[in-house]
Structure 1
């Protein structure tokens, strides 16, 4: 009788849950997990199976892909080991290190075009296409979409992005007017730091940081903070960089703010953008900034930024400001990167060919003996 009563209650919960839209179901599951409930508790509360919880959270797949033992996974997610074994064994996808790197990167950067993703991973085009196809089949990304001329965009689903960012972002698709800018920022990351997340703080994270401290008057109707940036300078609003990276730029090591400028601005807007970028670097608390790097397309844009620099007031931006400001040619840097990248790929192929040749010679020698 107790069993039947329990079954009836579960059926009632399942019936109520079945009426929810998928979007709200994911939010409820993620919210319960954020409040400390384990998989089994969430499943019982909502009257669903643990597999459904895993479909939203994906923690078992990620941990299993990292080589964490089933016993430890069971403790972390709050499930019997046998259930974890069944879920991990039944999952068609395997969370490999490469998949994790891709999903983390496109979550950080909002998305990437397939060719940029290839440079990011150091993979040939056919391998990138195969990987993207697999990720779409698994439901980790949206269907690749062509926005501007060139390669299609690879964009994570909202649920996937939430796993890697640590919060639930708004769903994102590359806007036509800004697609080239997002592409250029992704290229800059590839050039400057590559795939190491520890060396890169994306704009998405910087916006989230500011949003957590912004009051209601500093937010839009959607709840997003109203911020100034290089592409949309707004006087009187906090500035968000295109990214920050840890590395060496012309002999100076440390955290650098990145600004990517693709088009010339009128002097007023360029002044707002440059002052905001410098102030944001100066006032940063999470990273100790050493400078601001501008990567600009065309000599006219470089002159535009340099002219704004010459107009900076000395009382705020003079010698007392211990930050470097470097303005460099984006396309020149990118051409050099592609040349170096091609050389590294050829060297790797040659080394691989030599290894195979040495192995063949070794085996032939053994047969002869």
Structure 2
């Protein structure tokens, strides 16, 4: 959790391999011990969320998921640097959830930062002396289990980036950072056929601009198929 900022409660039981009731009890005890915060993110969506007797007021009507994240001091202890204060926001919750689900599917509970370098760790690694990021920030770096000499950049895309050339700029920046940091390439995990086609189109445009038939360091995968195969979805 410290490496991923935090995770939704829906992922706790899957990550630990326990029933949801057990996961709630574990998180309740951690909260009482002041090791984690538990909060509900209001995404404005009624009907699918259930009130928690442990973490909601008796008369509360939930409009979003519960999230759990380490306290500042606990995160600092696990990360070996001061990560600053953080709390989940509705605007980024879906994306952070998808990245954590993908991490669980690909690497399980391995916390070795050389196996999966989270965005939180990259944000610290890729700053200069003035505290400014030196390149595009990928969602993660992943060491290839089949070929440990290869480290791939990971990008998770859930929705189309609209606007004049916005998607092209984003993909181009991700590839430029791959070259800058001598990575094997970039793995795009996308949700939805429309988004997949949009990224394929941008990939092909970049290949044409570079005068090559295809980009050998660019792969596109279906996020939900990947999660399903690994039993995470």
Tell me the TM-score normalised to structure 2 length.
Answer: 0.81
CA contact (8 A) 2:207 2:214 kept: no
Structure 2: where are the runs of 5+ without partners?
50-64
| Pairwise CA distance, 1:297 | 0.7
Contact 2:72 2:83 in 1 (8 A): yes
Residues 252 and 137 (structure 1 numbering): CA distance in 2 closer, same or farther, change over 3 Å? same
Structure 1 position 147, deviation (Å): 3.9
Aligned-pair CA distance for 1:133 = 0.6
- 8 Å CA contact retained: 1:147, 1:176: yes
Let me know the Cα RMSD of the aligned residues: 2.5
Kindly report which structure 2 residues correspond to 1:157-172, keeping only aligned pairs within 5 A, or say none: 157-172=71-86
- Alignment counterpart, residue 160 of structure 2, candidates 261, 264, 289: 264
Distance 1:110 1:175 in 2: 11
The DSSP-based 3-state class of the residue aligned with 1:274 is helix
- Is the CA contact 1:256–1:289 (under 8 Å) kept in the aligned structure 2? yes
Partner residue of 2:221? Answer: 328
Aligned-pair CA distance for 1:121: 2.0
Q: CA-to-partner distance for each residue in 1:324-352, whole Å, 9 max, x for gaps?
A: 211111112222222xx69xxxxxxxxxx
In structure 2, the partner of 1:113 is 8
Out of 23, 30, 33, the residue aligned to residue 138 of structure 1 is: 33
Where structure 1 has 5 or more consecutive residues not aligned to the other structure, the ranges are 1-105, 220-224, 228-236, 343-369
Task: Confirm or deny: 8 A CA contact 2:41 2:90 kept in the other structure.
Answer: no
- Whether 1:292 aligns to 2:186 is yes
1:247 touches 1:256 (CA, 8 Å); kept in 2? yes
**In structure 1, what is the Cα distance between the partners aligned to 2:129 and 2:214?**
29
SS of aligned partner of 2:230 = helix
- Secondary structure class of the residue paired with 2:154: strand
Shift of 1:318: 4.3
Counterpart Cα distance in 1 of 2:28 and 2:184:
41
Q: 1:315 to 1:159 in 2, by over 3 A?
A: same
Q: Is the 2:188–2:221 contact (alpha carbons within 8 Å) kept by the matching residues of 1?
A: yes
Distance 1:139 1:301 in 2: 41
Taking structure 1 as reference, are residues 302 and 320 closer, same or farther at Cα in structure 2, changes over 3 Å only?
Answer: closer
Question: 1:109, 1:204 within 8 Å by CA — same for their partners in 2?
Answer: yes
Larger radius of gyration: 1
Q: 2:28 & 2:211 partners in 1: Cα distance?
A: 49
The answer to whether the 8 Å contact 1:108/1:205 transfers is yes
Quick one: structure 1 residues 174 and 317, their matched pair in 2 at CA, closer, same or farther if it must change by over 3 Å?
A: farther
The offset of 1:117, in angstroms, is 2.0
* Match runs of 1:236-315 below 5 Å: 238-248=135-145, 254-266=150-162, 268-284=165-181, 289-312=183-206
Residue number among 119, 124, 137 corresponding to 2:19 in the alignment: 124
Cα drift, residue 291 of structure 1: 2.1
Deviations 1:283-336 (A, max 9, x none): 21xxx6222110101111111111111111557584897x52111111122222
Equivalent residue for 1:181, pick from 77, 95, 98: 95
Residue 191 of structure 1, CA deviation: 0.8
Structure with greater proportional strand content: 2
What is the number of equivalent residue pairs in this alignment?
210
Answer yes or no: is the 8 Å Cα contact 1:147–1:153 preserved in 2. Answer: no
